[in-house]
Structure 1
Amino acid sequence: MPPLHPKTMNDEGGAKSKPRKPKPTTLTNSHALFNSTIRKPFLKQILFTFLLVLALYALFNAFFNPSIDTSSSVSLAAGIATVKYPAVKVYLYDLPTRFTYGVINHHSLARGGSRAAGDMSSLKYPGHQHMSEWYLFSDLTRPESERVGSPVVRVSDPEDAELFFVPFFSSLSLIVNPVRPAGSVPEKPPVYSDEENQEALVEWLERQEYWKKNNGRDHVIVASDPNAMYRVIDRVKNSVLLVSDFGRVRPDQGSLVKDIVVPYSHRIRTYPGDVSVDKRKTLLFFMGNRYRKEVMREGRFVTHSSKF
């Protein structure tokens, strides 16, 4: 019977075993295993990175309107997209004094103050919850040196304007005459009429060239009190209305599509917390369901109390 492992003869005649392949060492096996386990995740990582970049590119193209002005810039820093829009160009109407400082003067007179003589621009607006109309007016009348970096640029030429701001103090006008207790008789008839001022304002606007141009659609009017501008709301409903809510505005007069809800800001500095609010650039506020208790007075609704 031949041997299982036949021998071969060497030059010296001695027997020589058939050469065998060396067994792989433990180190060789580990190296191969390492290469096989590392290569796949590495390829997956490259593929994932490529898909992420592609997704971000598609996201930017889908959500950032290409019609935005070329002066806009989009930057990506630390994985967060930031959009910088060009400043809005606003023309501030030079309204007759009766619609601005004249309202402040009448509010003071109705409470025992003295009549302002001459220039009334030094009059102080009485603080209350609808001071947004005063803050916006004050911002636009500041010197340009104090408005550097503002998202709103005031323009002197209406041809350059994107929006037209109408600085009528509509909420203050509403409360010029103090509310009388039901059934009481006033000592003398009021000399100020909010309804007359509303109608006079709209008549003035309807004579303006740029109001006629777009039927008021690019005009901004503050009506933050729920009853502000109620007498003429149908004549200014095309405008951008700054409101506190839509409780007394019909769907054909106002909506979230064209109008803006302005938060109350008259008590913002009375916040007693440990975190200062002076340097905050964003004012957050609650916008939810609300219920009003209404009473009828002098032919119109007046808020008696409210619950949020």
Structure 2
Amino acid sequence: MPSQWKYGTKGCVSSYRLQSAKNDPRNNVNGDGKRSSKMYGKVIFSIGFLLLLVFSYSIFIGTVDFRSYFFPRHPLSPAGPRSACATGPPLKVYMYELPRRFHVGMMDHKSKIDDGAPVTAENLPLWPKNSGIKKQHSVEYWLMASLLYEGGGEEREVVRVLNPERADAFFVPFFSSLSFNTHGHNMTDPETEKDRQLQVDVIEFLSQSKHWQRSGGRDHVIPMTHPNAFRFLRQQLNASILIVADFGRYPKSMSTLWKDVVAPYVHVVDFFTDDEISDPFESRTTLLFFRGGMVRKDEGKVRAELAKILAGYDDVHFEQSTPTPRTIKMSTQGMRSSKFCLHPAGDTPSSCRLFDAIVSHCVPVIVSDQIELPFEDEIDYSQFSIFFSVNEAIQPGYIVDQLRQFSKERWVKMWRQLKNISHHFEFQYPPKKEDAVDMLWRQVKHKLPSVQLSVHRSGRLKVPDWWQRTR
């Protein structure tokens, strides 16, 4: 590359002037001009030689990696950042064949399909549109559906394999959250026994699997996004890769970030697809929006405090509500017309409301001291969310004052970022690249190296977990 182009326009201009000066006869009328040219040439040669020497020495001692320019590191290499797109070959997953009563049979009690008939892409029932609040715990359905889907090509994060010996991981298609919502929601009625029996049957089935026995269940993927899912026998799954929506509900002995995956709740409000208004800041007239239940346990008790603190503000909408088709529709409209959406803890640190806000492009205001967020190794929530500790939130006037100081420019930047990342929280069938299901399978792929390390160590250790015992 010619040196005069190396530094852009400024370099071109300087080179042009130097060439013009050289050709100007006024600068070559006597020997002084020639001697000056020779002197300049020597200086330039000396500087060039010195730079070449320094560059060569830098390569020799390793401060400049010349090879990286021509042979870039793989995006998943430990020395480089993880790419959200280039993640290598798809994860190979074997899905167990369980009778329909463990999964889609709970979606349609009137179905005449034989309980033992396999579920395929052709006969997979659609998730019911009128499922209401049950939809937020439907992650297990979308994961199963993604394995039945046969399209997408090599860009997919996951493919189903029918030979278990070729599998990287094993998926257990038990809709444990739907089982709780269907059979054991009251936790004391006779129907609860059906939920418990399904859990017993699943554990018995797995214990007889040689693949479960070989790894101790460590390479088995089990979704349980409802806080009460699999509540009778969940301790027997503490070695598996659990896909949970809220770590706050599970003890550390059972669920840890090194092996488990934080899942988003499935949003209940509709995805905002046509949010293309020219001035979104001014069009969203409500400063802060919240609609939800007030009676909550543990950290969720902050909601009652916030109700008192936020009362009386004209531009704050804070309302007690229970989820019904009508109130869900009202929440959809409220979030789309608000700049900020409040997300205090519920019975657990997280809830569906956060993801409703994200797909509504309403900047989330997260009040929690313990929340764990999905896909956080790839997504920086601080680019589109605001965080307050519980102690900060219960200071009268603090949240509102902070939000009113927000500049329009800063808010619009967050709004645009919400529009850019909201598709990562969309559950759909057929699945699409970079949607929530795609992201979850990629998270499972990220966990597998640690899982395999645990499997291999457990196979040769005489004293289990001796390292943890001596620390």
Could you state the TM-score of these two structures normalised by the residue count of structure 1? 0.63
Q: Is 1:303 matched with 2:304?
A: no
How far the C-alpha of 1:31 sits from its partner, in A, is 4.2
1:79-228 alignment to 2 at 5 Å?
84-106=87-109, 115-119=110-114, 121-126=123-128, 128-142=135-149, 144-177=150-183, 189-190=190-191, 193-228=194-229
Q: Distance in 2 between matches of 1:147 and 1:33?
A: 61
Q: Which moved more, 1:45-54 or 1:145-154?
A: 45-54
In structure 2, the residue matched to 1:29 is 36
In structure 2, the residue matched to 1:263 is 264
Report the aligned-residue RMSD. Answer: 4.1
1:292 to 300, 312, 321: 300
In structure 1, the residue matched to 2:242 is 241
Could you state the TM-score of these two structures normalised by the residue count of structure 2? 0.43
How far the C-alpha of 1:192 sits from its partner, in A, is 6.3
Q: Distance in 2 between matches of 1:258 and 1:116?
A: 37
CA contact (8 A) 1:132 1:264 kept: yes
How far the C-alpha of 1:151 sits from its partner, in A, is 2.4
Matched positions, count: 238
1:52 to 64, 67, 74: 64
How far the C-alpha of 1:52 sits from its partner, in A, is 2.8
How far the C-alpha of 1:32 sits from its partner, in A, is 1.5
CA contact (8 A) 1:89 1:160 kept: yes
CA contact (8 A) 1:130 1:266 kept: no
Query: Is the helix fraction higher in 1 or 2?
Result: 2
Q: Distance in 2 between matches of 1:125 and 1:192?
A: 25
How far the C-alpha of 1:42 sits from its partner, in A, is 6.5
How far the C-alpha of 1:209 sits from its partner, in A, is 1.7
Query: What's the CA shift string for 1:203-258, capped at 9, x where partnerless?
Result: 11112121111111111001122222222121011110011121111111111111
In structure 2, the residue matched to 1:8 is none
CA contact (8 A) 1:166 1:221 kept: yes
Query: What's the CA shift string for 1:11-39, capped at 9, x where partnerless?
Result: xxxxxxxxxxxx96144225413541464
Q: Distance in 1 between matches of 2:246 and 2:146?
A: 23
Q: Distance in 2 between matches of 1:133 and 1:169?
A: 6
Equivalent position SS for 2:127? coil
Q: Distance in 1 between matches of 2:348 and 2:233?
A: 23
Equivalent position SS for 2:222? strand
How far the C-alpha of 1:154 sits from its partner, in A, is 1.3
Equivalent position SS for 1:251? coil
Q: Distance in 2 between matches of 1:171 and 1:42?
A: 71
How far the C-alpha of 1:271 sits from its partner, in A, is 2.5
CA contact (8 A) 2:95 2:170 kept: yes
How far the C-alpha of 1:131 sits from its partner, in A, is 2.4
1:93 aligned partner, one-letter code = Y
CA contact (8 A) 2:184 2:191 kept: no
How far the C-alpha of 1:274 sits from its partner, in A, is 3.1
Q: Distance in 2 between matches of 1:227 and 1:55?
A: 53
Query: What's the CA shift string for 1:66-97, capped at 9, x where partnerless?
Result: xxxxxxxx9xxxxx9x9552222110111121
How far the C-alpha of 1:263 sits from its partner, in A, is 1.9
Q: Distance in 2 between matches of 1:103 and 1:293?
A: 33
Equivalent position SS for 1:25? helix
Query: What's the CA shift string for 1:161-189, capped at 9, x where partnerless?
Result: 11110011111112114856x9xx98xx5
How far the C-alpha of 1:44 sits from its partner, in A, is 2.4
Q: Distance in 1 between matches of 2:101 and 2:89?
A: 34
